[in-house]
Structure 1
Amino acid sequence: MDDIDSEIIRSLVRNSRITLSQMSKEINVPDATISNRLKKLEKSVIKQYTLLVDPDEMGLKVTAIIIIQTESEKHENVKNELSKLEEVSEVYSVSGEYDILIKVWAHSIEELNEIMNSKVRSVDGVEDLTEMIVMERVKEGVIPPI
């Protein structure tokens, strides 16, 4: 990835609906170059085009970060099963005292409690967990810095 590719990515991060013509003017590179590079980036760097919504406007008032200890032989099962839950937006395998970190969205504390008890704790291999309720979203991003 060179500087032009990075500029294309930055442009898409700022506005994923930008036209090739607009991007061409913004980056000062011909449309054809943008088009060719974008096709290459879509095969390697760009995994998917998606939508970023405002959780509050969607009624998702509660966000929780949960750290989970797993039975070591069931670690793979736990991370795979947690990845299937629609309320779970992120799953990370981590080092340290805990094995997995997940981010969960809910409409209320009661719904979060239901998700935790009926879905997360019921996954075979979950040994222990600690829930942290997010009090304020200070910065949330979808990609690392380019």
Structure 2
Amino acid sequence: MDDIDSEIIRSLVRNSRITLSQMSKEIDVPDATISNRLKKLENNVIKQYTLIVNPEEIGLTVTAIIIIQTESEKHENVKYELSKLEEVSEVYTVSGEYDILIKAWAHGIEELNEIMNVKIRSIDGVEDLTEMIVLERVKEDVIPVL
């Protein structure tokens, strides 16, 4: 990946709906070059095009960061099952006292409680969990292109 590829990605991060001609002018590279580079980037760098919504506007008023301890031999099953839950947007395996960190979304505290007690705690291999309710989103962004 060179400087032109980085500029294409930066441009898309700023505005994923930018046209090829707008990007061409912005980066000062011909449309055909942008198009060819973009196709190559879509093969191995760009995972998907998506959209970021305002969670409160769609009723998701509670966000929680949940750290989970798993039984060692059932760790793979736990992370797989967590990744299937529609209320969970991120699943990370981590080092330290806990094994997995997830980000979960809910329409209210009651729903979050149900997610934790009915869906997460019932996964075979979950030993313990600790939840932290997000009070304020200071920065929530896409991966920076450095």
TM-score (norm 1): 0.98
Contact 2:64 2:104 in 1 (8 A): yes
Q: Which residue of 1 aligns with 2:50?
A: 50
Q: Distance in 2 between matches of 1:129 and 1:138?
A: 24
Structure 2: 5+ residue stretches without partners? none
Please give the alpha-carbon distance, in whole angstroms, between the structure 2 residues aligned to 1:139 and 1:36: 33
CA contact (8 A) 2:6 2:145 kept: no
> How far does the alpha carbon of each residue in 1:62-108 deviate from its partner, in whole angstroms, 9 at most, with x for none?
00000000000000000000000000000000000000000000010
1:1-146 matched pairs, under 5 angstroms: 1-146=1-146
SS at match of 1:57: helix
Query: Structure 1 stretches of 5 or more lacking a match?
Result: none
Give the Cα separation in 1 of the matches to 2:51 and 2:143: 13
Shift, 1:144, TM fit: 3.3
Displacement of 1:142 in angstroms is 1.9
Displaced runs of 4+ in structure 1, greater than 3 A? none
Q: What secondary structure sits across from 2:74 in the alignment?
A: helix
Greater shift in the superposed pair: 135-144 or 125-134 = 135-144
Equivalent-residue separation in structure 1 for 2:126 and 2:36 (angstroms): 46
The CA RMSD measured in Å over matched residues stands at: 0.6
Paired-residue identity, %: 87
